[in-house]
Amino acid sequence: MPQHKNLNVVPFVSVENMMNIVTTDGIAETIEGIANYILQDFRKWQSFDKTPRVASHSDVGVIELMPTSDGELYGFKYVNGHPKNMKEGLQTVTAFGVLSEVSSGYPVLLSEMTILTALRTATMSALAARYLAPKNATTMTMIGNGAQSEFQAIAFQKLCGINKLHLFDVDPTATRKCRKNLASLGFEIEVFDTPEDAIRGAQIITTCTADKQNATILTDNMVGSGVHINAVGGDCPGKTELHADILHRSDIYVEYPPQTRIEGEIQQLGEDHPVLEIWRVMADIQPGRTSSDQITLFDSVGFAIEDFSALRFIRDRLSTSDKFEQLDLIADPDDPRDLYGMVVRSKKKGLFDA
């Protein structure tokens, strides 16, 4: 029989493991690490299999699979989005992911991705803003102060130098939570009663709301020239945050057009409306922001390659840490052709006796 490494024991990163990694390294440092992996993968964008996520929609939410491969590794994420969950004391988004070897098909990592998705979403927002936001931007408005808000703030602080935050949410308790969580991290924070007041003086506007509806969080008259808009909340059919007139005034950057045209802000526009692909900017194929009065819009919906990058980062991070669990996930009979025999012999050996 050919010799092979023991691949039936798969590293499993639980929620507890993930929290330990993030708190040990630091949230900002973890975001910076994920950013480096996203840049590596976006710069070899054309080597990846790409498809819009496979989505199962219902009246109350969506469940999705997000697969991709670079020819050496295959990854996918299972993720849901159920805005109504918050009222029931549940998370709006939960997720897990798998990374596998293409050469054998064997999984090499199984990980929680609820926390990891929050980190990679914020990372991608700030990474795009590094190329698209006004030079030397210091102030960001965050409209929507829920579960993603603190990660967004820390990512923009680490990757873009943002140190002033304007906060607004229709739920004041969300804003109080956000302000409290960020109070010790070196931000100058102001809270506002209206979104119109909150965006004044901000060079970057982040919208991150959860309601599954065609909402108008920003209207055209609220957006002046020269700002960068980081639109995070519009991420499925029938869920938007910006008035369409804003889109017509903006240079729109997206991850993967076939997916964003279904799920992003640009679902409000025709199929022929021009958009720019952010990977081309990160790969230095085309420029990002080119003028001080330009309105740039990152129509963020999240794409599988970003999750692939985050899983790669965690896999490599585990090489220096033994604080993770292992799952006996893959059947590994002595004779690969005799799976039946393995099952039968396990009973004879008393493996399942009480």
Same-domain check for residues 235 and 197: yes
In this predicted structure, what is the pLDDT of residue 250?
Answer: 97
Same-domain check for residues 196 and 325: no
In a domain, 271, yes or no: yes
Same-domain check for residues 141 and 209: yes
- pLDDT > 90 in the chain, percent: 74
In a domain, 160, yes or no: yes
Q: In whole angstroms, what is the distance from residue 269 CA to residue 246 CA?
A: 11
Q: In whole angstroms, what is the distance from residue 325 CA to residue 344 CA?
A: 28
In a domain, 123, yes or no: no
In a domain, 125, yes or no: no
Instruction: Calculate the alpha carbon distances from 109 to 48, 57, 97, 112 in Å.
Output: 19, 28, 8, 10
Q: Which of 202, 123, 206, 208 is nearest to 163 (CA)?
A: 202
Residue 4 has pLDDT above 50, yes or no: no
DSSP track, 187-224: -EEEE-SSHHHHTTT-SEEEE----SSEEEEE-GGG--
In this predicted structure, what is the pLDDT of residue 6?
Answer: 53
Same-domain check for residues 173 and 245: yes
In a domain, 171, yes or no: yes
Q: In whole angstroms, what is the distance from residue 160 CA to residue 166 CA?
A: 16
Same-domain check for residues 77 and 34: yes
What CATH number does the domain containing 281 carry? 3.40.50.720
**Other C-beta atoms within 10 Å of 72: how many?**
9
Domain ranges, residue 152: 131-302
Question: Is the Cβ–Cβ distance between 324 and 9 less than 8 Å?
Answer: no
In a domain, 4, yes or no: no
In a domain, 159, yes or no: yes
In a domain, 120, yes or no: no
In this predicted structure, what is the pLDDT of residue 2?
Answer: 35
pLDDT tens string 242-270: 999 999 999 999 999 999 999 899 999 98
Same-domain check for residues 237 and 105: no
Q: In whole angstroms, what is the distance from residue 116 CA to residue 133 CA?
A: 25
* CA angle 23–27–28, rounded 5-degree value: 145
Same-domain check for residues 181 and 160: yes
3 or 9, which is more confident: 9
Taking the model in full, what pTM does it have? 0.91
Same-domain check for residues 139 and 268: yes
What CATH number does the domain containing 338 carry? 3.30.1780.10
Tokens encoding 261: 């045209």
Same-domain check for residues 136 and 234: yes
Same-domain check for residues 64 and 153: no
Is 235 among the catalytic positions?
Answer: yes
**Other C-beta atoms within 10 Å of 268: how many?**
17
Same-domain check for residues 228 and 323: no
Which member of 41, 235, 299, 307 is catalytic? 235
Amino acid at 280: R
Amino acid at 248: H
Same-domain check for residues 158 and 243: yes
**Domains identified in the chain, total number:** 2
DSSP track, 316-348: HHHTT---SEEEE-S---SSTT-HHHHHHHHHH
In this predicted structure, what is the pLDDT of residue 128?
Answer: 98
pLDDT tens string 135-185: 999 999 999 999 999 999 999 999 999 999 999 999 999 999 999 999 999
Of the ranges 85-99, 106-120, 213-227, which is most confident?
A: 106-120
